Structure 1
């Protein structure tokens, strides 16, 4: 059976691993990053009409200041982030099914024009036509030291799941060009796939930027 490597940070890596196990995939977790909170100064909630979170890490690591925005309509890039917001006491939460640009379009469609976006120190490009977006970093992703076990475990036929462009860059830095020919990449987006570089046995990007799509591609490679 092909090995499927999950490179995203915890706790999301554990959720992906559970889904992979349900598909009878041999899932192995090797995070490339660990999220860390960063200090931030919360602006007045009255300055905004809506709140946006594009990662559950932002919900977990924003600290007690996040509670000040519970009175705003909250938007989440996906269901995992929406669930984290609900667990944090937010009642009015809209979950997206795509990327940041897709959920920003829903914010605009609902008539909100002043948006507070709490995210990481690095964020994927997000189109936000017609919206005044204030972006504040509440966490950062710290690169973990290279893990020799990743190289040792990634035998021929292994499938590497890449959940972000930054993860693709980090993976490319750790896997030498001459070690890639027998390894497969499944990425969350074409941009993340491109960040992995060349020389892999195959590279595929999910049709939608969600875990289930990535795992479906991985399962097909295992057939």
Structure 2
């Protein structure tokens, strides 16, 4: 019996490695495909800080950042995974929030209150093409000027890999891990297109947030587990709770 990981590549590799270390068999079915977009020249811009809600926002533009003045700015990351990607890209002053956009917004506001950041200086938001939350708008309502640069997009994959489809048909998948609303929707559409929707929804769906969980519940899933916080370790905890009665 295997756990299906729907996380995009290459992050699915790290997830699979962690799950195998915990004794799980793993199948990978990335439901979104990463496509980088170029960073516009920011040589003349006078930003006060950079904000990032996904490691993918840095992954595609990392080669462009070599020697960039942006690397000298404080960078506010949504969580430690994104913070690690920022350090790898060369940012020297990385501040990590606790895992979601609301916490990142509050961390930026706290830095202003502590006089570590000036509200008068524009913020550069490195973002994806499809945003689940209007972080720039929320900060704008609090007096910030936010310049958003789209540095990547995620394209939905139309079908499940044959290995995953066959495993669903043979009832060899014991749970599915979901990391975003978009990837969850893409998974549902792919399962439907592959003719395994009933099998796919009959097993535990482990979701990184309540928003993601609502997508699979609305599709008819009844065994839905939600991580207690929006990070992968908590998601693994949800997986353990989902399978606790089962002996692997």
What's the TM-score, normalizing by structure 2? Answer: 0.82
Give the gaps of 5 or more residues in structure 1. Answer: none
Residues 1:20 and 1:105: Cα distance change in structure 2 (over 3 Å): same
137-146 vs 195-204, which deviates more?
Answer: 195-204
1:42 Cα offset (Å): 3.3
Residue 203 of structure 1 corresponds to which residue in structure 2? 224
Residues 1:201 and 1:87: Cα distance change in structure 2 (over 3 Å): same
Residues 1:178 and 1:29: Cα distance change in structure 2 (over 3 Å): closer
39-48 vs 118-127, which deviates more?
Answer: 39-48
Residues 1:45 and 1:109: Cα distance change in structure 2 (over 3 Å): farther
Residue 150 of structure 1 corresponds to which residue in structure 2? 164
167-176 vs 62-71, which deviates more?
Answer: 62-71
What SS class does the counterpart of residue 7 from structure 2 fall into? coil
Task: Establish whether residue 219 from structure 1 lines up as the match of residue 240 from structure 2.
Answer: yes
1:6 Cα offset (Å): 0.8
Q: Contact conserved, 1:9 with 1:32, CA < 8 A, in 2?
A: yes
Q: Contact conserved, 1:48 with 1:115, CA < 8 A, in 2?
A: yes
Q: Distance in 2 between matches of 1:45 and 1:7?
A: 40
1:210 Cα offset (Å): 0.4
Residue 94 of structure 1 corresponds to which residue in structure 2? 95
Residue 77 of structure 1 corresponds to which residue in structure 2? 78
Q: C-alpha deviations, 1:123-171, integer Å up to 9, x for none? A: 2203435232221110111223412332222326621111000011111
Give 1 or 2 for the bigger CA radius of gyration: 2
Give the gaps of 5 or more residues in structure 2. Answer: none
Residues 1:88 and 1:157: Cα distance change in structure 2 (over 3 Å): closer
Residue 185 of structure 1 corresponds to which residue in structure 2? 205
Residue 171 of structure 1 corresponds to which residue in structure 2? 187
**Count of residue pairs brought into register by the alignment:** 222
